[in-house]
Amino acid sequence: MGIQTLIWQVTKKAFTGGIIGLTISDRFCSVVPVRGDSMSPTFNPQRDSYLDDYVLVDKFCLKDYKFARGDVVVFSSPSHYKERYIKRIVGMPGEWISSTEDVIRVPEGHCWVEGDNKASSLDSRTFGPIPLGLIGGRVTRVVWPPQRLSKIGG
Amino acid sequence: MGSSSSFWNVAYRQAMKSGVFVAKVYSFLHVTTTYLAFPAVAFGPSMIPTLHPSGNVVLAERISTRSRKLSRGDVIVLQSPEDPNKIPIKRVIGLEGDCESFVVDPEKNDESRTIVVPKGHVWVQGDHTQNSRDSRIFGPLPYGLIRGRVLWRLWPFQDFGPIDDHNLKK
């Protein structure tokens, strides 16, 4: 009888902890790994994946979607919504972006994102401007590895 | 001195207990409304006659949108591609791969266009097409902007009932 109540207590505490943790991760901030080198040298300056950067993603910015050019953001891919990318906003609504052939105006409610490593980045130059609603958070810091701890400015 | 320090002890412990309780309630509400179901207020003319322009409270669920089980005829809550702070409610008319033909500007002329809905997108329209900003204006909607599927009208009581699918499900 004692063991059963103990297991039940532990399960209840774990469940509650999980729910609170999920809420903190969704509403306040979370830590995500950066894969690939499309944001090199800002993230993952070397190619070995066992040294991938982990970054802190702030979720407070999602309250009214106030972003600025230069913000590094996490967003869902417009064509594969389960895939998430990390890129930098280089164009806000109303601004003009020059691509190879012509000049494009970023529509209202959208933004133009590009990787810092232009040679190796799948971004708005391929899939066009993304709706701001697809953004899942703003990267504020690198938190791992310890020697790369830094603040990501605007 | 003995009684005053235990007063602050008791006060501190009460504050912690209340704080933990608030955190639990807040988290429970967040997880339920983000992953299970949430109520939404709908107003405006774009979904007449399904929804009343002066307002309905509807119940929307999140389970089919996370597992991609949407079909034509579903009424969905979405985030507008024109303004992420706006949360319109529209009906799914086409899924990815469908050909959608529509009149571009019915008030100007009959010029029409045909678009194939790209991968990862859906085509949405309001039921009251004369007064609805939808995919005919902002294009196919990326799946990532879908916030939930509307199941029931909850309020006012004379409107209580499920949302019908306009015979679009085949």
Put simply, whether A17 touches B (Cβ < 8 Å) is: no
CB contact residues (below 8 A), chain A span 77-136, against chain B: 77-81, 107-110, 131-135
Q: What is the DSSP letter of B6?
A: H
pLDDT at position A154, please? 42
Active site residue A87: yes
Average pLDDT over residues A38-50: 79
Which range is most confident: A39-43, B1-5, B127-131, B142-146?
Answer: B142-146
pLDDT of residue B162 exceeding 90: no
Q: How far is A51 from chain B (nearest CA, A)?
A: 30
Contact B24 A132 (CB under 8 A): no
pLDDT of residue B124 exceeding 60: yes
Best residue in A13, A15, A19 for a mutation probing chain B (most B CBs within 10 Å) = A19
Q: How many helical (H) and strand (E) elements, i.e. helices and strands, does chain B have?
A: 3, 10
pLDDT at position B3, please? 61
Lowest pLDDT segment from B17-21, B23-27, B156-160:
B156-160
H-only helix segments in chain B: 2-35, 63-66, 135-138
The domain made up of A31-151 has a fold known as Umud Fragment, subunit A (2.10.109)
pLDDT tens digits along A91-122: 999 999 987 788 999 999 999 999 999 888 99
Query: Which ipTM score applies to this complex?
Result: 0.86
Best residue in A15, A81, A110, A111 for a mutation probing chain B (most B CBs within 10 Å) = A81
Q: Where are the domains of chain A?
A: 31-151
pTM of the entire predicted model: 0.87
Contact B79 A79 (CB under 8 A): no
Lowest pLDDT segment from A29-38, B33-42, B149-158:
B149-158
For residues A128 and B154, give the distance between their C-alpha atoms in angstroms, rounded to a whole number.
39
Structure tokens at A87: 């890129």
pLDDT at position B156, please? 81
Instruction: Check residue A128 and give left, alpha or beta (phi > 0: left; psi -120 to 50: alpha).
Output: left
Instruction: Check residue B26 and give left, alpha or beta (phi > 0: left; psi -120 to 50: alpha).
Output: alpha
pLDDT of residue A47 exceeding 50: yes
Average pLDDT over residues B16-42: 93
Pairs of residues, one from chain A and one from chain B, whose beta carbons lie less than 8 Å apart: 66
